[in-house]
Structure 1
Amino acid sequence: MSDVSRRALLGSSLALAACGQKAQSQPVPANLPPLKTIVPFRIGSSVQALHLDDPALAALLRRQVNQLTPEWQMKMEYIVQPDGSFRFDAPDRIAAFAADNGMALLGHVLVWYAQAPEAFERLDENRVSFEQAYRNYILAVAGRYRGKVVGWDVVNEAVAEDGDGWRTSLWSKRLGDFEHIALAFRTAREADPGATLLLNDYNLEYMPRKRATFMKLAERLLASGAPLTGIGTQVHVAADIRPGEITTMMKDLASLGLPIHVSELDVSLVRADNKLLGRAELERRQARTYGEAAEAFMALPERQRFAFTLWGLRDKDSWLRGENASDASAPFDDASRPKAAAAALVEAFRG
């Protein structure tokens, strides 16, 4: 163990002792009702196709949620092959599981700055233009799941991290900063006239400047006639986020008048900036944060509550566990037992 690790461990131990009884995890009430049974909107979870092979997780999904979001297997990184062909086996399996269990399906995601498949980068425009290939991809993917999804994250994380304009990507370079976004929405509407079409982003609660730029982009899309019909806020946050930040963000986003999707909620313990907080105190704050997110969503007008999605139900299935084996960011533990975070969600939804 390094000196830095020893200091961190010592600091955590001292902080835990200082917190005393206030930091102890609160008991979780027995027989919590399933989340999907206590709210009038959809409760969702992310999922990978391989997760469906785990009977315990499949049972937990059936009990708790009524909407699924493919975690990454509807993204270009999975679908687009090096030769330009498309692969749909995993997303088809998730779509079938959702349909077989009476669950809605959220399409995620059509266009993301972070992904530039090889087939697009080496496109021979003597055969087909870049714009044609871009449109063809969206038409093929959104068209395949037409009538099977309730909505699409059409464009993901379009706003620059510091809030200074929009991100540069292969799509923006070839089709234009704003034009590639508007084109994606128009093409998605052509492919699926009935789906809610969302603009999705993250750190909107932490960074007011980014949130303002996100809202200006949404307003410009609406002014241009692009069929933006919902917005998604991911809410990947740490347990030491300041109370009130999620609530403030939700109120700001609500001013656009569009349906809102809490699209990727998780609350990390190990990403907390305050390294003096002990584990039990972080768990207490984690539960409080889940509760605040639910309360802020419940405060929205009913017509603006699109859905509330957890980015993984169990700790062991979270992408954050891959970053750090000690993280426990979800409302349910590795054995599918509800944590204080799950109880906080129930309490807030019942509100």
Structure 2
Amino acid sequence: MSRLTRRSAIASALALSACAREVQSQPVADTPLKSIASTPVGACLQRHQLDDPAFAALLTRHYSQITAEWEMKMEYILQDDGRFRFDRPDAIADFARRHGLRLHGHALIWYSQVMPAFRALDGQGKRFADAYRNYILAVAGRYRGLAASWDVINEAVDDNGVDLRRSAWTDNLGVDEHMILAFHHAKEADPDAVLFINDYNLENNPTKRATFLRMVERLLKAGAPIGGIGTQSHLGLDFTPPGMCRIALRDLASLGLPIHVSELDISFGDKPETAPLPKLLSRQADLARELAQAYMDLPRAQRFAFTVWGVRDRDSWLRGANGERPWEHPLPLDDAGQPKPMFQALAEVLSG
């Protein structure tokens, strides 16, 4: 996995701090978030986490929608010899079905994941294009009628905020063309799923947001059946200025498409030891409240879902693959699964 590397523009290297101590939960009503919220609320998960009864109980108690953190991506499904592997995606989809949870598919095409089976077809024109279509049909089609939605294109705009990313997809199929094809193939696979284009740093980088919106408008004009915009909302106390979330969601909603806050977490930022933990938690709650209010200010038809990227703080990718950044507490529930001020803020605002 390269989650930390690919989001280096978002989460700068953080110094080990006194914030490594356990977060003390704040007293809030022990009410399921999904029973309070007037919009679907979601969280991501990995297959192995479902074997933990405490994790599964928290997930089903508080959330009405789930996203596979990485096991419905190409890196897991497509093996080097071209065969497909669906054991973990199937288990996640079955969990959603058994518990009455809405399933959001993530993600069909990502610049960062061009697997060896596709590399072997590089420069082979129709064979590459046919394999591209077949992959999308196989994956989106497998969960037809169960996945309510898909991130069809993930992270197409470069971190510089100006250019679109280059990859084997763009080199073989075209910069805009590969996205248009992906949306048409996904629509063919599942005509009823809501099809999203998803990206990060849209709140923090106005230049990137403007490029993203021009790209989406261009794709729509070319006939791509885009059904919604996903903004990952990986925010940080040191790089998300107050007011930016309101501006960003207003801009993103200007195309009239549904909005999915798709991967929310809030980093404490650089050198969190400079502030006491209660103050950091309070600032985190304020930023979550601003984003949630900006989302709730959208017309009801444009509020698709509000998803956090993990269930408990200790499940977050921000902790690092080996837990090397224990000072991060980026989610609404603490390590023990108890509500934090961020939870209270979301509950208050998402209740409508």
Same fold (TM over 0.5): yes
CA contact (8 A) 1:32 1:343 kept: no
TM-score (normalizing by structure 1): 0.90
Cα 1:126–1:293 change in 2 (3 A) is: closer
Partner in structure 2 of residue 328 of structure 1: 329
In 1: Cα distance, 2:206 partner to 2:197 partner: 17
Partner in structure 2 of residue 59 of structure 1: 57
In 2: Cα distance, 1:72 partner to 1:193 partner: 24
User: Which of 312, 315, 318 is the aligned partner of 1:314?
Assistant: 312
Matched, 1:248 2:275: no
Other structure's SS at 1:213 match:
helix
Partner in structure 2 of residue 302 of structure 1: 300
1:237-270 deviations in Å (ceiling 9; x for gaps): 112322111111001111110000000000112x
Partner in structure 1 of residue 113 of structure 2: 115
Q: Give matches, 1:1-351, under 5 Å.
A: 28-123=26-121, 129-240=127-238, 241-269=240-268, 271-272=269-270, 276-322=274-320, 324-351=325-352
In 2: Cα distance, 1:68 partner to 1:47 partner: 7
In 2: Cα distance, 1:178 partner to 1:124 partner: 18
CA contact (8 A) 1:139 1:188 kept: yes
Offset at residue 274 of structure 1 (A)? 7.1
In 2: Cα distance, 1:51 partner to 1:39 partner: 24
Cα 1:8–1:153 change in 2 (3 A) is: closer
Other structure's SS at 1:246 match:
helix
Other structure's SS at 1:338 match:
coil
* AA aligned opposite 1:151: S
Offset at residue 281 of structure 1 (A)? 2.1
Highest RCO, 1 vs 2 (Cα 8 Å, sep ≥ 6): 2
Greater mean deviation of Cα atoms: 275-284 or 169-178: 275-284
Q: Percent identity?
A: 53
Offset at residue 32 of structure 1 (A)? 3.4
1:54-102 deviations in Å (ceiling 9; x for gaps): 1001000111001000000000100010101000111100000011000
Other structure's SS at 2:85 match:
coil
Cα 1:287–1:126 change in 2 (3 A) is: closer
Cα 1:132–1:32 change in 2 (3 A) is: same
In 2: Cα distance, 1:276 partner to 1:337 partner: 25
CA contact (8 A) 2:38 2:350 kept: no
CA contact (8 A) 1:239 1:283 kept: no
* AA aligned opposite 2:68: P
Cα 1:32–1:294 change in 2 (3 A) is: farther
Offset at residue 275 of structure 1 (A)? 6.5
In 1: Cα distance, 2:202 partner to 2:57 partner: 33
CA contact (8 A) 1:201 1:234 kept: yes
CA contact (8 A) 2:39 2:350 kept: no
Partner in structure 1 of residue 3 of structure 2: none
Offset at residue 317 of structure 1 (A)? 0.7
In 1: Cα distance, 2:271 partner to 2:206 partner: 19
1:146-198 deviations in Å (ceiling 9; x for gaps): 11111000000001111112100110011111100110001000000000000
Cα 1:8–1:277 change in 2 (3 A) is: farther
Other structure's SS at 2:203 match:
coil
Other structure's SS at 1:68 match:
strand
In 1: Cα distance, 2:124 partner to 2:28 partner: 65
Q: Which has the larger radius of gyration?
A: 1
Could you list the runs of 5+ residues in structure 2 that have no partner in the other structure? 1-14
